[in-house]
């Protein structure tokens, strides 16, 4: 099973949080997969504190007693921890995407080098073989232009941009 990365965590945290707030029953594994080890430990500690309260006091009858004691259900404890996890995930969004980008670059480098040295050992065109391996894996070629289709409209727009830029430069020179 692949690990959950930052692109999935935010969406799933919001989904689980909404389910808990609606009152849906969730398995502990559904929540634990979205939390870091520190967050899981925090959840366990918060629930252990609530269990200690339950041993100390009988179940309160009124809302005022509940607030005075600090009595909370497992659902309320989980909601608090998930809200903290969601905030932490939103704050670490940029770092998460940078990490994903680095992992992608490392994977592309490994694919390139493996294919390059394999082709070198077989006395084949190394750069071509490496680029084929990269393309097969969904990455861009190295030291080559990508073979993207350019439509007639794109060509026309590019030409118009060049003409306008030349006119603007000429206009600035005249000033």
User: Are the C-beta atoms of 81 and 39 separated by less than 8 Å?
Assistant: yes
Q: Name the percent of the chain in helix, strand, coil, to the closest 5.
A: 75, 0, 25
Please give the pLDDT value at position 62.
79
Please give the pLDDT value at position 118.
94
Express each pLDDT in 63-86 by its tens digit: 787 777 778 888 999 999 999 999
Mean confidence (pLDDT) of the chain: 87
Residue 148 banded pLDDT, cuts 50, 70, 90? low
Cα–Cα dist 43/23, whole Å? 18
Residue reference for tokens 């259900």: 73
Residue 145 has pLDDT above 60, yes or no: no
Instruction: Report the share of the chain in percent with pLDDT over 70.
Output: 95
Secondary structure in 3-state letters for 29-89: HHHHCCCCHHHHHHHHHHHHHHHHHHHHCCCCCCHHHHHHHCCCCHHHHHHHHHHHHHHHH
Express each pLDDT in 114-141 by its tens digit: 999 999 999 998 888 998 999 999 888 8
Please give the pLDDT value at position 160.
94
Please give the pLDDT value at position 71.
80
Cα–Cα dist 48/1, whole Å? 31
């Amino acid at each position: 099973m692949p690990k959950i990365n930052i692109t999935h965590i935010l969406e799933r945290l919001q989904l689980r949080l909404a389910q808990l707030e609606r009152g849906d029953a969730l398995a502990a594994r559904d929540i634990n997969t979205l939390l870091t080890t520190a967050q899981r430990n925090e959840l366990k500690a918060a629930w252990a504190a609530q269990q200690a309260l339950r041993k100390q006091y009988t179940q309160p009858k009124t809302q005022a007693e509940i607030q005075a004691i600090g009595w909370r259900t497992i659902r309320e404890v989980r909601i608090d921890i998930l809200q903290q996890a969601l905030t932490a995930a939103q704050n670490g969004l940029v770092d998460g995407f940078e990490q994903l980008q680095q992992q992608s670059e490392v994977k592309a480098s490994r694919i390139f080098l493996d294919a390059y040295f394999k082709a070198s050992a077989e006395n084949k065109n190394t750069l071509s073989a490496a680029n084929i391996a990269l393309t097969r894996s969904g990455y861009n070629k190295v030291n080559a232009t990508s073979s993207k289709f350019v439509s007639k409209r794109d060509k026309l727009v590019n030409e118009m941009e060049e003409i306008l830029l030349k006119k603007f430069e000429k206009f600035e020179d005249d000033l």
